[in-house]
Structure 1
């Protein structure tokens, strides 16, 4: 009897902190912080944590062992923490200020950083590590066991095969495919690795195990079967090097446009100043993520990549 009274007290106390619509089902050991708004027909399973000021739209399912950071918005008909047959019981962690648009499915076993955004109907499979300030466009598909850095932009209809690695500040445009099976069908997967500041243009296909090195540009429709060197522009089928990105000019002004970090700053951490000023504030360990010092030595012939 005393346990029942205590449970009812805890339930009423929790109810003051958030608002729910009709026909919601909330499981055991669920932590919901203040100012959370939950729509109709929402299912929240056991062992879920939802931070303050979140919005959960209608028909969302939040599986067990999911953590959602504060100030996040979850669109209608999303499923968070979906299980694969092999990965039941793992955790899905989503950082604060996430915006997950309707119809998206995020599997368990993943860790997603702050200010993450999706378009509609995005799928992110299990064991995917995603950094901060990453956006994934509508109908894109990340097939799991992938690693994605900070400030990565994936546009719509992008397919990322298992074991892919995408470093920070990479741009991937619509209909790009990162493959992973050199002799399909097999279990000998080899993920693609796209290094920092590289750009992969619309409709390109990257074959298993390929490295696209820093500041490289893969042209639209290219089929890349071998590594792309730093600052290279590759195009065609099979892709071949056709230029250096630093030779590309703006067609209107005639000015340089690459490396893009020196000319583009919208939504970037250096948007209030410039890249060099921002980069100078990083410590030695942080700078290692971008390999710029290594690239300077490469350009002067002091090391071989």
Structure 2
């Protein structure tokens, strides 16, 4: 099965395109990008749609669908069967896992990571170095279905563990840590560890320790080596900012494992 590449598309150098993939008008694919089989990039577009731009060095795995008017930075990476809808803007090296969908009009910073089966509601605002683990939902409608939209905001360095639900209008401040399966509403303070149902603050992320290994959060303290050299200065600053948010009267250590 042959691929289809529109005459209106701009394909960079050393781009690899798999079987049965369609690349539509007003699409720009950066140098060195790899696109798997059975993908659809940038179409069908409406007449005044902004271009779809995939940054250089990206990897788009099979059965991914990227709508018109999506723009990503370099080293964008998808799993299989992912969907990114129109109006999404993403920075450097966003990675999204299998069966994740980004529902459009979203802003996403640099080096964020979404695992598989994550649902990102329309209009979500997500910072840099954010981790969202599998089966998490970012909601945006208080009374579904309706035309009232209240997207969530997730600031830099936030971690949302598996199976959590971030309810419409929630604001997760810098460095917050959401335990698995939590429903989060309202504003979460900087560096807060959230637990329970509904989610409540049980400590500060600087007190979060894995008891067996003695690894201590924030995760930039022990996991920065997973990022490239050009990200290290930003990671160090983020770590310092989160540590400086720790309350003077710190609670007891929150042990895990």
- Tell me, yes or no, whether TM beats 0.5: yes
Q: Is there any run of 5+ residues in structure 2 with no aligned partner, and where?
A: 249-257
Q: What residue is the counterpart of 2:29 in the other structure?
A: 68
**TM-align CA RMSD:** 2.5
Q: What residue is the counterpart of 1:197 in the other structure?
A: 157
Q: What residue is the counterpart of 2:223 in the other structure?
A: 264
Q: What residue is the counterpart of 2:253 in the other structure?
A: none
Does residue 1:247 correspond to 2:207, yes or no? yes
Does residue 1:153 correspond to 2:105, yes or no? no
The one of 164, 168, 193 aligned to 1:208: 168
Q: Which has the larger radius of gyration?
A: 1
The one of 71, 76, 81 aligned to 1:111: 71
Asked whether the 8 Å contact 2:193–2:202 carries over to 1, the reply is: yes
Q: CA-to-partner distance for each residue in 1:26-79, whole Å, 9 max, x for gaps?
A: xxxxxxxxxxxxxx4111123111111110000000111000000010000000
Asked whether the 8 Å contact 1:155–1:172 carries over to 2, the reply is: yes
Deviation at 1:266, TM superposition (A): 3.4
Q: What residue is the counterpart of 1:227 in the other structure?
A: 187
Asked whether the 8 Å contact 2:24–2:41 carries over to 1, the reply is: yes
Asked whether the 8 Å contact 1:87–1:108 carries over to 2, the reply is: no
Deviation at 1:188, TM superposition (A): 1.2
Q: Which has the higher contact order (CA 8 A, sep 6+)?
A: 2
Asked whether the 8 Å contact 1:247–1:256 carries over to 2, the reply is: no
Q: How does 1:26-175 map to 2 (within 5 A)?
A: 40-83=1-44, 89-175=49-135
Large movers: runs of 4+ above 3 Å: 86-89, 290-300
Shift in alpha-carbon separation, 1:293–1:259, aligned structure 2, 3 A? closer
**Cα distance in 2 for residues equivalent to 1:211 and 1:250:** 26
Shift in alpha-carbon separation, 1:279–1:113, aligned structure 2, 3 A? closer
Asked whether the 8 Å contact 1:159–1:177 carries over to 2, the reply is: yes
Counting matched residue pairs gives 249
Shift in alpha-carbon separation, 1:224–1:294, aligned structure 2, 3 A? closer
Shift in alpha-carbon separation, 1:94–1:251, aligned structure 2, 3 A? same
Deviation at 1:262, TM superposition (A): 1.6
Shift in alpha-carbon separation, 1:185–1:87, aligned structure 2, 3 A? farther
Shift in alpha-carbon separation, 1:81–1:234, aligned structure 2, 3 A? same
Indicate the larger mover: 88-97 or 167-176: 88-97
**Cα distance in 1 for residues equivalent to 2:19 and 2:245:** 54
Shift in alpha-carbon separation, 1:259–1:293, aligned structure 2, 3 A? closer
Asked whether the 8 Å contact 2:191–2:242 carries over to 1, the reply is: no
